């Protein structure tokens, strides 16, 4: 069985970022009741046995037999590993638990260098299943933490009628994710409405649905179908939608719909577009959040995006925001406690998470001023900033882009035509400073770019509902998610380069050719790649070397010496070429 180990550089030196646990798959045993590397807590309460018939992978697994019938007295296995304070860690395991009277709980206790106890992170529990399922969560080591006691125990919240057994395999505790690339990224070409219908269709317990508008009939029917099969559905929307037919339709089914009509600023928008699925049950493996810019409206087809993220922590953050607007945790809104717009507070215990082994942060408007955060991230760019946005009037973000451009960092993007010259628009100022920013030329549907996305240095991705404006930053109810996964960034880069190429294609907008060609540190427009120097390396957006220079497909290509491309670490060099 192949075990993968990553090496990650941090401020204090080198830290092995793979699995920190010894014998995580229970392949090695000192005897048939003692797995090597693990401490057995109390054999009279929980029996531990080597298992060779019911195995997830490898030669063996671990069978737990809970002998204590009464609730409490939870025991199992513990392993102590070194950690670094402030870092995020992923914990996970595979469990087979097919009885409702018992479950497996996985958690962490933190200790100082001298082993003094600090605190414990919350326990994540298994769910009943007739096969192997994954239990997973992410936790952050507190200040002064030097050791972590990774623990896995049996739990019987209401007691048991007789002894019960369950199985464990493939334990994991480390700073990288054992199963990376779990996030699903969708764009208009992926049929966003159908993806959202699939997301809703998989809800089994709860669905918290928070959308500015949602008039598409098949999406509305998916919400109603979820309600009819017993899913606890709650909806928050903008006050201007309360008389819409889709709201009347779901209300007729008994689904509660709440809005920002209570104020304090009825003219501000409840502009979120997110949904949280199944967080309200006891199963940590089915907690998903849907988030980004897509409004599922009847007859609309725009350049939009969405992310489906399986992550209990992020799902919990979005539900906390939902319930701040809902006014409570129950099935009915509580008007006396509900808060929208400027009345909202920061209710998040943390904004930082670990997603697929990389940092992820979530911010909400107006309490977190997320566009200010985007400006700060932009000001830290080292290689490039590429973006696509519906509306852009935020001066601080415009200043950050101009500052990076003047420091020779490549900046470019596309803005929807409706907002190019709106009051306070940043477009004229960016163009006046020589930055290659263009009116969109989305070729399908309503020909609108509705996305609010950015990629910085081929690593940091920004997405969400907030336009880059004063209202998006400090008035409306909005959200922004920032991820550090290069894999997610590459998928957004492909979308952005497509939007950028459309906007600069001379067959679509001939008057743009001069400004595009004359940017000294920006891209160059060419008809074929054989006009470029023979000594350079040319790659496509996926990093593949282009062999045929004379007749390449239209698109965006990156140009530089092999050394430059290597030094860029896979990010976009400052010079790239658009082929029409």
Question: Would you state the pLDDT for residue 181?
Answer: 60
Select from 255, 222, 264 the least CA-distant residue to 333: 255
Question: Would you state the pLDDT for residue 524?
Answer: 53
Q: What is the CA 338 to chain-centroid distance, rounded? A: 26
Centre a 10 Å sphere on the Cβ of residue 473 and count the other Cβ atoms it contains.
27
pLDDT tens for the chain, 580 residues long, are 222 222 222 222 223 347 899 999 999 999 999 999 999 999 999 999 999 999 888 889 999 999 989 987 789 999 999 999 988 888 888 899 888 888 898 999 999 999 999 998 878 888 777 778 778 777 889 999 999 999 999 988 888 999 999 999 999 998 766 666 689 999 998 899 999 999 999 999 999 999 999 999 999 999 999 999 999 999 999 999 999 999 999 999 999 999 999 989 888 999 999 999 999 888 877 899 999 999 999 999 999 999 999 999 999 999 999 999 999 999 999 999 999 999 999 999 889 888 877 789 999 999 999 999 999 999 999 888 999 999 999 999 999 999 999 998 889 999 999 989 889 999 999 999 989 899 999 989 999 999 999 999 878 999 999 999 999 999 999 999 999 887 788 789 889 988 888 887 644 333 332 222 223 333 455 556 666 666 666 765 445 666 666 666 555 566 665 555 444 444 444 455 655 4
Render pLDDT for 50-73 as a digit per residue (tens, 0 to 9).
999 998 888 899 999 999 899 877
Centre a 10 Å sphere on the Cβ of residue 201 and count the other Cβ atoms it contains.
11
- Sequence-distant (6+) residues with CB within 8 A of 140 are 86, 87, 88, 89, 350, 352
Centre a 10 Å sphere on the Cβ of residue 42 and count the other Cβ atoms it contains.
14
3-state secondary structure 330-376: CCCCCCCCCCCHHHCCCCCCCCEEEECCEEEEEEEECCCCHHHHHHH
State yes or no: cis peptide before 264, omega within 30 of 0. Answer: yes
Cα 4 from Cα 18, distance rounded (Å): 7
- Sequence-distant (6+) residues with CB within 8 A of 124 are 91, 105, 106, 107, 135, 136, 137, 284, 312
Backbone phi and psi for residue 352, each to the nearest 5 degrees, phi listed first: -110, 135
Select from 177, 93, 106, 89 the least CA-distant residue to 141: 89
Question: Would you state the pLDDT for residue 163?
Answer: 92
In terms of C-beta density within 10 A (0-12 exposed, 13-18 middle, 19 or more buried), how is residue 203 classed?
A: buried
Cα 223 from Cα 541, distance rounded (Å): 38
**Do residues 440 and 417 lie in contact, with contact meaning Cβ atoms separated by under 8 Å?**
yes
What's the pTM value of the predicted model, to 2 decimals? 0.65
Question: 370-395 b/e with 16+ CB inside 10 Å = b?
Answer: bbebbbebbbebebbbbbbbbbbbbe
DSSP structure class, residue 159 = -
Cα 41 from Cα 307, distance rounded (Å): 41
Q: Strand order in 555-560's β-sheet?
A: 524-526, 576-579, 555-560, 537-539
Question: Would you state the pLDDT for residue 127?
Answer: 75
In terms of C-beta density within 10 A (0-12 exposed, 13-18 middle, 19 or more buried), how is residue 308 classed?
A: buried
DSSP assignment of 483-522 equals: E--HHHHHHHHHHHHHHHHHHH-TTT-GGGHHHHHT-SSS
Question: Would you state the pLDDT for residue 310?
Answer: 93
Q: Which neighbouring-strand residues pair with 120? A: 109
Question: Would you state the pLDDT for residue 4?
Answer: 26
Select from 373, 424, 422, 417 the least CA-distant residue to 395: 424
**Strand pairing report for 39-40 and 437-439:** unpaired
**Do residues 557 and 540 lie in contact, with contact meaning Cβ atoms separated by under 8 Å?**
yes
Question: Would you state the pLDDT for residue 515?
Answer: 28
Select from 400, 361, 381 the least CA-distant residue to 571: 381
Question: Would you state the pLDDT for residue 78?
Answer: 95
**Do residues 310 and 320 lie in contact, with contact meaning Cβ atoms separated by under 8 Å?**
no
Distances (CA, A) of 230 to 223, 233, 339: 11, 9, 28
Cα 428 from Cα 432, distance rounded (Å): 6
Question: Would you state the pLDDT for residue 553?
Answer: 59
Q: Strand order in 61-66's β-sheet?
A: 46-51, 61-66, 164-174, 88-96, 133-140
Question: Would you state the pLDDT for residue 382?
Answer: 84
Q: What is the CA 337 to chain-centroid distance, rounded? A: 29
**Strand pairing report for 61-66 and 164-174:** antiparallel
Cα 458 from Cα 485, distance rounded (Å): 9
In terms of C-beta density within 10 A (0-12 exposed, 13-18 middle, 19 or more buried), how is residue 280 classed?
A: middle
Q: Up-side HSE of residue 273: CA atoms within 13 Å toward CB?
A: 27
The alpha-helical segments, DSSP class H, found in 362-433 are 370-379, 395-406, 427-432
Select from 445, 448, 414 the least CA-distant residue to 430: 414
**Do residues 347 and 321 lie in contact, with contact meaning Cβ atoms separated by under 8 Å?**
yes
Q: Which neighbouring-strand residues pair with 383? A: none
CA dihedral for 49, 53, 56, 59, sign (positive or negative): positive
DSSP structure class, residue 477 = B
Distances (CA, A) of 551 to 506, 530, 545: 17, 9, 14
């Amino acid at each position: 069985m192949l075990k993968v180990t990553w090496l990650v550089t941090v401020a204090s030196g080198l830290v092995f970022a793979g699995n920190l646990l010894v014998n995580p798959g229970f392949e090695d045993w000192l005897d048939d009741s003692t797995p090597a590397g693990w401490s057995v807590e109390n054999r009279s309460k929980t029996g531990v046995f080597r298992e060779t018939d019911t195995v997830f992978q490898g030669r063996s697994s671990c069978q737990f037999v809970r002998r204590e019938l009464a609730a409490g007295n939870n025991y199992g296995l513990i392993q102590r590993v070194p950690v670094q304070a402030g870092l995020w860690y992923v914990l996970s395991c595979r469990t087979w638990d097919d009885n409702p009277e018992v479950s497996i709980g996985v958690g962490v206790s933190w200790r100082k260098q001298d082993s003094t106890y600090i605190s414990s992170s919350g326990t994540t529990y298994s769910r009943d299943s007739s096969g192997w399922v994954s239990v997973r969560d992410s936790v952050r080591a507190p200040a002064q933490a030097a050791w972590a006691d990774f623990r896995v125990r049996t739990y019987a919240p209401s007691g048991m009628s007789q002894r019960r057994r369950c199985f464990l395999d493939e334990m994991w505790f480390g700073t990288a994710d054992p199963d990376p690339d779990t996030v699903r990224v969708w764009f208009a070409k992926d049929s966003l409405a159908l993806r959202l219908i699939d997301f809703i269709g998989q809800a089994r317990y709860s669905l918290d649905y928070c959308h500015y508008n949602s008039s598409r009939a098949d999406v509305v029917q998916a919400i109603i179908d979820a309600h009819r099969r017993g899913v606890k559905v709650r909806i928050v929307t903008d006050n201007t939608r309360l008389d819409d037919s889709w709201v009347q339709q779901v209300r007729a089914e008994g689904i509660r719909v709440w809005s920002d009509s209570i104020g304090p600023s009825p003219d501000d928008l409840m502009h979120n577009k997110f949904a949280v699925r199944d967080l309200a049950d006891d199963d940590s493996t089915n907690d998903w959040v849907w988030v980004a810019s897509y409004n599922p409206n009847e007859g609309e087809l725009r350049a939009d995006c969405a992310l489906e993220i399986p992550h209990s922590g992020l799902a919990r953050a979005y539900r906390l925001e939902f319930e701040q607007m809902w006014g409570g945790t129950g099935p009915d809104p509580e008007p006396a406690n509900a808060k929208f717009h400027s009345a909202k507070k920061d209710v998040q215990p943390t904004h930082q998470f670990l997603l697929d082994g990389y940092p992820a942060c979530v911010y909400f408007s107006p309490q977190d001023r997320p566009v200010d955060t985007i400006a700060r991230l932009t000001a830290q760019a080292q290689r490039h900033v590429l973006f696509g946005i519906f509306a852009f009037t935020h001066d601080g973000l415009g200043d950050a882009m101009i500052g990076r451009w003047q420091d020779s960092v490549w900046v470019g993007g596309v803005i929807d035509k409706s907002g190019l010259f709106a009051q306070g628009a940043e477009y004229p100022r960016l163009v006046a400073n020589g930055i290659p920013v263009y009116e969109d030329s989305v070729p399908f549907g309503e020909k609108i770019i509705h996305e609010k996305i950015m990629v910085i240095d081929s690593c940091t991705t920004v997405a969400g509902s907030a336009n880059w404006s004063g209202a998006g930053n400090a008035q409306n109810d909005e959200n922004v998610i920032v991820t550090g996964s290069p894999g997610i960034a590459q998928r957004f880069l492909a979308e952005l380069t497509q939007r950028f190429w459309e906007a600069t294609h001379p067959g679509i907008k001939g008057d743009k050719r001069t400004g595009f060609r004359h940017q000294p540190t920006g891209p160059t427009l060419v008809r074929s790649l054989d006009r470029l120097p023979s000594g350079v390396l040319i790659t496509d957006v996926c990093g593949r070397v282009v062999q045929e220079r004379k007749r390449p497909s239209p698109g965006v290509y990156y140009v530089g010496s092999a050394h430059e491309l290597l030094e860029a670490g896979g990010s976009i060099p400052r010079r790239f070429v658009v082929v029409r």
